[in-house]
């Protein structure tokens, strides 16, 4: 019975066998703004690492809190743009069939 469940699970979920690179490529195709959000996150973290040395008298915890807000804002902004893009393609720019 257990092998029957496992074989049905593999048929219903073929993405379970894919590697991390294949999964990232599939997710990027499904949501084109996800890689932009990840690149923005990496850019904000890189800039934060660079600016950490020149933060002046600001405490580390305050600096990291501001860096976290900037990184989250970048990712949420990219995901929001992706959602707006998807909704616009689906509802606004959708060609009417048969009319």
- Determine the Cα–Cα distance for residues 31 and 67; give it in Å rounded to an integer: 25
How many whole angstroms from its chain centre is CA 51?
25
Q: What pLDDT was estimated at residue 99?
A: 47
- Determine the Cα–Cα distance for residues 45 and 67; give it in Å rounded to an integer: 7
What sections of the chain are H helices per DSSP? Answer: 2-12, 20-30, 34-52, 60-87
Q: What pLDDT was estimated at residue 12?
A: 56
Distant-in-sequence, close-in-space partners of 5: CB < 8 Å, separation ≥ 6 = none
Q: Where are the domains of the chain?
A: 1-30, 32-99
- Say whether pLDDT at 6 is over 70: no
- Say whether pLDDT at 5 is over 60: no
Comparison of pLDDT for 16 and 9, the residue scoring more = 16
Residue identified by tokens 């990840």 is 38
42-77 pLDDT tens trace: 898 899 999 998 888 989 999 999 999 998 998 889
Q: Judge contact between 68 and 45, C-beta under 8 A.
A: no
Q: What pLDDT was estimated at residue 46?
A: 92
């Amino acid at each position: 019975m257990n092998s029957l469940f496992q074989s049905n699970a593999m048929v219903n979920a073929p993405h379970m066998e894919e590697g991390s690179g294949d999964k990232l490529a599939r997710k990027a195709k499904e949501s084109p703004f996800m890689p932009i959000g990840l690149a923005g996150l990496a850019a904000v973290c890189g800039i934060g690492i660079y600016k950490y040395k020149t933060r002046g008298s600001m405490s580390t915890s305050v600096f990291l809190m501001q860096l976290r807000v900037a990184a989250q804002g970048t990712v949420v902004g990219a995901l929001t743009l992706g959602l707006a893009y998807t909704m616009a393609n689906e509802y606004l720019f959708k060609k009417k069939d048969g009319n």
